[in-house]
């Protein structure tokens, strides 16, 4: 057999075998497109849900913070047998969503009182904060850093009749105070120790 015939025979036998073998060994990698799309959609939905939940929690936190940082209006009890020189139009106490107020030990209680000296009342050149805790029938002085109200509570002395004033103060409820039910008696007195205003609020130290 000539060399040309041998080369021709080799091409006829070997090359088809290689081609067949190559086709037999090759298996295309098919991506499962429907499943991939579903999983990706679920992933996006989970991310969107997570973002929505975080936004709702943030919004709720902001609303609660605003609510807690603002005072709650209350209707205090008038002091018995006391003549007041002012009309109190609003009392805000924080925290106190309802009576009795719950004052937590180790925290501050904030008070904001809007009042106006009555017509004919004596101008108050001095204003003194006086606070008592009434336990049973016993009045106990309650220490405060706002004794000199003209300097510490935001009011502008002398206090003249017909002028609206906003008095702001705080009480620190000491951690060593025992749990107890009481009435807090809050007074503002002028230079003659006459009451500009006086009221009581039921409370609990917790």
The answer on 119 and 21 residing in a single domain is no
Give me the domain span that covers residue 60: 3-68
- Taking the complete model, does pTM exceed 0.75, yes or no? no
Model confidence pLDDT, tens digit, residues 39-51: 666 666 666 656 5
Contact 179, 204 (CB under 8 A): yes
Query: Considering its fold, how many domains does the chain have in total?
Result: 2
Specify whether 85 is located in the same domain as 127: yes
102 and 58 in one domain? Answer: no
Decide: helix, strand or coil at residue 81. Answer: coil
| Same domain membership, residue 126 and residue 104 | yes
Note the pLDDT tens digit of each residue in 148-188. Answer: 999 999 999 999 999 999 999 999 999 999 999 999 999 99
The label of the residue with tokens 């989970």 reads 46
Q: How many residues does the chain have?
A: 206
Q: Are residues 90 and 42 in the same domain?
A: no
What pLDDT is stored for residue 63 in this prediction? Answer: 36
């Amino acid at each position: 057999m000539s060399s040309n015939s041998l080369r021709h025979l080799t091409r006829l036998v070997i090359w088809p075998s290689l081609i067949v073998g190559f086709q037999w060994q090759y298996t295309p990698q098919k991506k499962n497109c429907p499943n991939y799309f579903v999983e990706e959609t679920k992933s996006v939905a989970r991310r969107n849900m997570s973002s929505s939940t975080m936004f709702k929690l943030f919004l709720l936190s902001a609303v609660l913070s605003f609510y807690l940082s603002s005072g709650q209006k209350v209707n205090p009890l008038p002091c018995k047998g006391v003549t007041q020189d002012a009309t109190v139009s609003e009392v805000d106490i924080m925290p106190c969503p309802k009576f009795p107020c719950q004052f937590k030990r180790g925290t501050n209680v904030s008070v904001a009182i809007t009042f106006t000296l009555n017509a004919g009342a004596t101008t108050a050149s001095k204003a003194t904060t006086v606070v008592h805790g009434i336990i049973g029938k016993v009045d106990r002085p309650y220490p405060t850093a706002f004794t000199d109200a003209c300097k510490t509570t935001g009011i502008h002395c002398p206090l003249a009749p017909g002028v609206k004033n906003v008095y702001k103060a705080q009480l620190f409820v000491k951690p060593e105070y025992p749990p107890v039910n009481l009435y807090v008696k809050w007074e503002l007195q002028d230079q003659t120790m006459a009451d500009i205003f006086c009221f009581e609020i039921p409370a609990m130290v917790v």
